């Protein structure tokens, strides 16, 4: 049996930083990343055989838990029929029907292979449809590693302190305007001055890549109002939030209808997938019926479609959202109580089955207040819980998630570990 340390040393010789996505390297919390061998329900097991209660869940897709039998069965069945064709399949139609029926704003949808592809394609489509260049995004919101969207982004960019990454030409970066998340008046002033030049405003309706930050009352409404007034498109990046809070996404929770929506994670059931969709008149600008080119050899991959259909089928049939809300309330309430007992300053931002822990005294509502959180305290908690068999995100700037497999007993075990960890802190 090889140790995590041995595997990491070998990986660093062959893969930059030893990982294929930067946050996995444990750079913000320190230590050796865990190399995972398998998962089952709420648990995953590393190369050394250690068992962890998993609150990362592949960064959100596994809302049914690891290896849900319905999803595994569908994947196996499709793999025996074929893994890729480069041609249309009926599965794509079935998956499109599922997405369009769930999201009122989506009349047509196109599948791609990742959330990054989804946002990149939606941005290109918005520019083609409006014949404008400027894109507005918000500090701390991460929309994949798209060149024009990496300015003041969240997720790994924020974790590693790279607000503007080398490799993005200044000319491309200049087409993106970055505003403050939840700053209603700042957005209103910008749009009143420059709205006629804006192709699209893209936003995470609930920010999940600087940690969980909820929109202020009126923020999303103002985005909708001003984009409509100036002929710009409103793009909701629901790669994380899609199917996470309810079957219709965050836009259903907040009663806001965007022009385009980007999806990923849950709709793949653990397989690589993304999608973007919206009004038919906008989507009709895509090739082959329109002038905006977008393509992908593995787009609509049959195994990813099968996994997504199975996942959405379980969610639609079981409607587990009230249960997920209740269990997340149990988890977050227990963590807050444990922190209060030890006089630890802790802010919890939570909506549905995703949440974040911020070690500070102030309300966390934008990137500035996110950055006041004590990252060293988070790192201490992370390692204490890791030793106890609880796996949190290896960065203070990411969300934690629960699945339907996180039973009350599993959450109770977690809270026992949290109490001991806070005592040690």
- Of 45, 53, 58, the C-alpha closest to 311 is 58
Helix count (H) and strand count (E) of the chain?
15, 14
- From the CA atom positions of the chain, what is the Rg in Å? 21
Of 5, 70, 1, residue with least CA distance to 308? 70
Say which residues have a Cβ less than 8 Å from residue 255's Cβ, sequence separation at least 6: none
CA distance 121 to 115: 10
CA dihedral 23, 25, 31, 357 (to 10 degrees): 10
Distance CA 67, CA 289 (A): 39
Candidates 151, 174, 176; CA nearest to 164 is 151
CA distances from 211 to 80, 124, 347, 359 (A): 40, 27, 11, 12
Rounded CA separation 133/330 (Å):
46
Q: Report phi then psi at 118, rounded to 5.
A: -65, -50
3-state DSSP percent of the chain in helix, strand and coil, to 5: 45, 15, 40
User: Could you give the residue numbers annotated as active site?
Assistant: 142, 237, 265
CA separation for the pair 273, 296 (Å, rounded): 11
Using CA atoms, how far apart are residues 305 and 91, in angstroms rounded to an integer?
A: 6
């Amino acid at each position: 049996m090889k140790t995590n340390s041995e595997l990491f040393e070998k990986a660093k010789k062959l893969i930059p930083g030893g990982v294929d996505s930067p946050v996995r390297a444990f750079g913000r919390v320190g230590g050796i990343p865990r190399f995972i061998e398998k998962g089952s329900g709420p648990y995953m097991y590393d190369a050394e055989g250690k068992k962890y209660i998993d609150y990362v869940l592949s960064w959100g897709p596994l809302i049914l838990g690891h290896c849900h039998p319905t999803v595994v069965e569908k994947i196996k069945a499709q793999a025996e029929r074929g893994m890729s064709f480069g041609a249309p399949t009926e599965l794509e139609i079935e998956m499109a029907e599922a997405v369009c029926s769930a999201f009122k704003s989506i009349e047509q949808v196109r599948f791609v292979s990742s959330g990054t592809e989804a946002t990149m394609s939606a941005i290109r489509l918005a520019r083609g449809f409006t014949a404008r260049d400027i894109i507005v995004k918000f500090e701390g919101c991460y929309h994949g590693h798209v060149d024009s969207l990496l300015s003041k982004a969240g997720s790994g960019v924020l974790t590693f302190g790279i607000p503007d990454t080398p490799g993005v030409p200044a000319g491309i970066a200049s087409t993106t305007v970055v505003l403050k998340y939840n700053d209603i008046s700042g957005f209103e002033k910008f749009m009143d001055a420059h709205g006629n030049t804006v192709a699209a405003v893209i936003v995470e309706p609930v920010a999940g890549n600087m940690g969980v930050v909820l929109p202020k009352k009126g923020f999303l409404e103002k985005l909708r109002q001003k984009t409509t007034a100036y002929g710009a498109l409103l793009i909701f990046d629901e790669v994380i939030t899609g199917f996470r809070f309810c079957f219709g996404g965050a836009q259903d929770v907040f009663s806001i209808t965007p022009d385009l929506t980007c999806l990923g994670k849950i709709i793949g059931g653990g397989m690589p997938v993304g999608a973007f969709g919206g009004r038919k008149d906008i989507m009709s600008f895509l090739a082959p019926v329109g002038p905006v080119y977008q393509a992908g050899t593995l787009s609509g991959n049959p195994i990813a479609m099968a996994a997504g259909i199975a996942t959405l089928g379980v969610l639609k049939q079981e409607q587990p959202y009230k249960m997920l809300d209740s269990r997340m309330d149990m988890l977050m309430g227990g963590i807050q109580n444990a922190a209060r007992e030890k006089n630890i300053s802790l802010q919890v931002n939570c909506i549905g089955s995703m949440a974040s822990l911020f070690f500070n005294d102030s309300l966390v509502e934008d990137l500035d207040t996110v950055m006041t959180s004590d990252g060293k305290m988070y790192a201490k908690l992370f390692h204490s819980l890791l030793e106890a068999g609880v796996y949190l995100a290896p960065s203070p700037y990411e969300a934690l998630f629960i699945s339907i497999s996180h039973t009350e007993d599993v959450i109770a075990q977690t809270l026992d570990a949290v109490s001991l960890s806070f005592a040690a802190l």
